[in-house]
A and B are shown apart, each in its own frame.
Chain A
Amino acid sequence: MIVPTLMQLCRSEFEALAKTWLLLGAIQVTLHDDGLLIAHYPGDLLAAEPDLSASDPNSGLSMHLYGIKGAQWQIVADAQMHLLGRLLGSEGEMDSLTGSLVETQDRLVALYDLTRATRGAMEIRDVLCLLAVESTRLLDAHGAFAVVKIPDQAPIIHQFLDSPYPNESLLLVADLFFLHPEDNNFKECSAVPPGLGNVVMLILSVRPQVQACLGILYKSREISSPDSKLLKAITDQGSASLDNALFHLEAVESARLETEMTLARQVQTALLPQSLPKIKGVDIYGISIPASQVGGDFFFITSNSEHALTFYLGDVTGKGMPAALLMSMTNTSARSAIRYMPFSEPHILIDRLNNDLLEDYSAVDMFVTIFVGMFDPDTHQLLFANAGQSPVIYASPNQETILLEADDLPVGIFENHHYSMKSLNLSQGDILVITTDGFNETSNEKGELFGIDRMKNIINRNSHRSAKEIAESLCAAVSEYGGSDRQEDDRTLLIMKVTGDEKPVFHQTEMEVYAEYEQLRIPAQVLREVCSAAGVSEDLIGKCELALQELLTNLVNHAYEGNPQGVIRVSIQVTADRVIMQTEDSGNRMESDLDSVEMPDPLLLQESGYGMAIIKGLMDEVTYRNGEGKNFWLLAKNYTKE
Chain B
Amino acid sequence: MEMTAKISGSVAIATLKGRFDAHEVPAVAAWLQSSQQSGLVHILVNLEGVNFIDSTALSSLVSGLKHCREKGGDLYLCRLTQPVRVIFELTRLDNAFTIFPVEMDALVAFSTPC
Contact = CB atoms under 8 A, between A and B. Distances in A.
Interface of A: 517-518, 520-521, 524, 539, 542-543, 545-546, 549-550, 553, 556, 599-600, 602-603, 605-608, 610-611, 613-614, 617-618
B90 A617 contact: yes
B54 to A, nearest CB: 5
A599 B95 contact: no
B91 A553 contact: no
A546 B91 contact: no
Contacts of A550: 54-55
Nearest to A516: B23
B92 A602 contact: yes
Nearest to A543: B86
Nearest to A541: B83
Chain A CB within 10 Å, residue with most, of B19, B52, B62, B91: B91
B87 A546 contact: yes
B109 interface: no
Contacts of A549: 21, 52, 54
Given A602-B96, A603-B96, A610 B55 contact: yes
A610 B58 contact: yes
A605 B62 contact: yes
B54 A605 contact: no
B65 A542 contact: no
Contacts of B59: 606-608, 610
B86 to A, nearest CB: 6
B23 A517 contact: yes
A539 B89 CA distance: 14
B21 A542 contact: no
Secondary structure at chain B's binding surface: helix, strand, loop or mixed? helix
Given A517-B22, A518-B23, A543-B86, A605 B91 contact: no
A521 B66 CA distance: 29
B90 A611 contact: no
Interface of B: 19, 21-23, 52, 54-56, 58-59, 62-63, 65-66, 82-83, 86-87, 90-93, 95-96
A553 B54 contact: yes
B95 A603 contact: yes
A610 B93 CA distance: 10
A607 B62 contact: yes
B52 A605 contact: no
A614 B19 contact: no
B108 to A, nearest CB: 25
Contact of A602 (B56, B63, B93): B93
Nearest to A519: B23
Given A602-B95, A605-B65, 12 more contacts: A517-B22, A517-B23, A521-B21, A539-B82, A542-B82, A542-B86, A546-B83, A550-B54, A553-B21, A553-B54, A553-B56, A614-B87
A608 B55 CA distance: 8
20 contacts: A520-B21, A521-B23, A539-B82, A542-B52, A546-B86, A549-B21, A549-B54, A550-B54, A553-B22, A553-B56, A556-B22, A599-B91, A605-B66, A608-B55, A610-B58, A610-B91, A611-B55, A613-B90, A617-B90, A618-B90
The 6 closest A-B pairs by CB, nearest first: A517-B23, A610-B55, A517-B22, A602-B92, A607-B59, A602-B96
B91 A613 contact: yes
Contacts of B95: 602-603
A542 B63 CA distance: 25
B28 to A, nearest CB: 13
Nearest to B23: A517
Contacts of A602: 91-93, 95-96
Contacts of A603: 95-96
Nearest to B88: A602
B22 A614 contact: no
A520 B55 CA distance: 14
A606 B62 contact: yes
Contacts of B22: 517, 520, 553, 556
Nearest to B84: A542
A542 B55 CA distance: 14
B66 to A, nearest CB: 5
A605 B97 CA distance: 10
Contacts of B52: 524, 542, 545-546, 549
B70 to A, nearest CB: 11
A605 B96 contact: yes
Chain B CB within 10 Å, residue with most, of A518, A553, A610: A610
Contact of A614 (B66, B90, B96): B90
A627 to B, nearest CB: 28
Given A549-B54, A550-B54, A607 B96 contact: no
Contacts of A599: 90-92
Contacts of B63: 607
Contacts of B56: 553
A139 to B, nearest CB: 89
A549 B24 CA distance: 13
Contacts of A614: 55, 87, 90-91
Contacts of B58: 610
A132 to B, nearest CB: 83
Contact of A521 (B19, B90, B96): B19
A546 B62 CA distance: 18
Contacts of A524: 52
